[in-house]
Amino acid sequence: MFKRNGEYVAAGSPPFPGSEDPAHWTTYIASDDVDAGRMAVAQDPGGATFGIWQTGAHHGAELANELGSVIWNECQTTDPERAEEFYRGVFGYEVDMMQSVTVPCIAC
């Protein structure tokens, strides 16, 4: 668990056993019922990984949108239309689409 000024801002863990994914941040979505308090890691139709967890004693980040805390969550997907349909349908989210930008590699 990572803290800033005594408040939780993030958590880290190694990749799941048997996973070929490199280490990366995973966004967790709060749920009212994930099998009575458990957590799940899943993929959307475009392959983006996300977690779901039902809060118990720990309610997640206590500090956000400030220096040293999470300020941005972004879904990078090869199929934005399917991802938008999925997140709207499953979680009721509003989606703001961004244009893809290619940045040249200066130090390559």
Map out the domains of the chain with their CATH numbers: 2-91 (3.10.180.10)
Question: Distance (Å, rounded) from C-alpha 42 to C-alpha 99?
Answer: 25
Torsion sign across C-alpha atoms 33, 39, 40, 46: positive
User: What is the biggest distance separating any 2 CA atoms in the chain, rounded to whole angstroms?
Assistant: 49
Strand partners, 42: 50
In the prediction, which pLDDT does 85 show?
93
Q: What is the pLDDT of residue 59?
A: 76
Q: Determine phi and psi for 52, rounding to 5 degrees.
A: -130, 135
| pLDDT value at residue 47 | 83
Tokens of 72: 């941005």
- What is the separation, in whole angstroms, between the first and last Cα of the chain? 34
Q: Name the pTM for this structure.
A: 0.67
Q: Whole-angstrom Cα distance, residue 1 to residue 35?
A: 23
Low-confidence ranges of the chain (pLDDT < 50): none
Task: Write down the pLDDT at residue 16.
Answer: 73
Burial classification of residue 29, based on how many CB atoms lie within 10 Å of its CB (0-12 exposed, 13-18 middle, 19 or more buried):
middle
